[in-house]
Amino acid sequence: MPNGSDPWESRGQRPIQDFGIFKATEVDRAGPHGKTGRFVVLDAPDWGVVVPILEKSGNRYILAVRQFRHGSGRASLEFPGGVVEPGEDPERAAARELREETGYAARRITLLGDLSPNPAILTNRFRVYLAEDLTLEGEQSLDEHEIVDVQEIPESLFLERLGGPGWDHALMSAAAFLYIRHRGWETLRNTPDAQARGGGKG
Per the residue annotation, which of 55, 144, 146, 155 is the catalytic one?
144
3-state secondary structure 54-71: EEECCEEEEEEEEEEECC
Q: Cα–Cα distance between 175 and 126 in angstroms, integer?
A: 9
Beta bridge pairs of residue 37: 29
Reduced to 3 states (helix: H, G, I; strand: E, B; else coil), residue 83 is strand
Asked about 26 being catalytic, the answer comes back as: no
Neighbouring residues of 134: CB distance < 8 A, sequence distance ≥ 6: 52, 53, 54, 55, 63, 104, 105, 106, 107
Catalytic residues: 144
